[in-house]
Amino acid sequence: MKLISLNVGLPRIVESNGEPVATGIFKEPKQGPIMLRTLNLDGDRQADLTVHGGVSKAVYAYPVEHYEFWKRELPEMELPYGMFGENFTTEGMSEDALNVGDRFRVGEAELMVTEPRLPCYKLGIKFGRTDILRRFLQSRRTGFYFAVVKEGKVEAGNEIELLSRDANNITIADITRLYAFERDDVETLRRAVKLEALSDSWREYFQKQIHKLTH
């Protein structure tokens, strides 16, 4: 497993439906070591902290393998690393193989897998097309977020080393599946709400799902 590209960017104002919108989705690859802190990488910020960033979403990672899929889906588009707003473009990591709570070392930092990325309208702004939101979710190629367990310098080319697997065996793909595709899987929902690594907002959402299905 490897960190192929390290991408950062500061929020900028863009126009959407004639209105100014602040977004931090525009990321560009950077060479050399960058300090990864509890909330983000140096030189990187999120614009809307109500839905982006925070401790459980400090780093957004997107598998380099998905780029081939999107190049086939969107042959007319340029797709440089960072296109999906990711901080880490990774190799050898996939949503169906990563458990929520898995821990990794990258460079000097230690990270924990927390949750999938749900597309917001700003992905549509970046791609210049609103259908990308539906297609992104339908593809189940969501990427995943990390919380920073230990701060440290990271850089493109770093190996990504597995430190520990979470014993609950709920994958990032499972969270997306429960949210968008199989909302009535009560057994897995009950397991998901017990995940300490999953954010409170996700667990509360799944708890409501269970209540709806069982009452």
Q: pLDDT higher for 63 or 14?
A: 63
Mean of the pLDDT values across residues 122-145? 94
Rounded Cα–Cα distance for residues 207 and 210 (Å): 5
Tell me what pLDDT residue 207 has. Answer: 97
CA dihedral sign of residues 173, 176, 177, 183 = positive
Contact at 8 Å (CB) between 102 and 113? yes
Contact at 8 Å (CB) between 112 and 28? no
Q: How many CB atoms lie within 10 A of CB 99?
A: 19
**Strands 28-29 vs 2-8: parallel, antiparallel or unpaired:** antiparallel
Tell me what pLDDT residue 160 has. Answer: 98
Q: For residue 16, what pLDDT band results from cuts at 50, 70 and 90?
A: confident
Q: pLDDT higher for 88 or 18?
A: 88
Which two structure tokens, joined as six digits, stand for 29? Answer: 């690859």
Is residue 149 pLDDT above 70, yes or no? yes
Q: Which class for 115: exposed (0-12), middle (13-18), buried (19 or more C-beta within 10 A)?
A: buried
Is residue 193 pLDDT above 90, yes or no? yes
For 99-131, the pLDDT digits (tens) are: 999 999 999 999 999 999 998 888 999 999 989
The radius of gyration of the chain's CA atoms, rounded to the nearest angstrom, is 17
Rounded Cα–Cα distance for residues 130 and 205 (Å): 25
Q: Across all residues in the chain, what is the average pLDDT?
A: 94
Which two structure tokens, joined as six digits, stand for 117? Answer: 């990325």
Rounded Cα–Cα distance for residues 103 and 196 (Å): 13
Contact at 8 Å (CB) between 84 and 137? no
Tell me what pLDDT residue 49 has. Answer: 58
For 43-84, the pLDDT digits (tens) are: 988 766 556 678 999 999 999 999 999 999 999 999 999 999
Tell me what pLDDT residue 17 has. Answer: 81
Q: For residue 3, what pLDDT band results from cuts at 50, 70 and 90?
A: very high
Mean of the pLDDT values across residues 163-192? 97
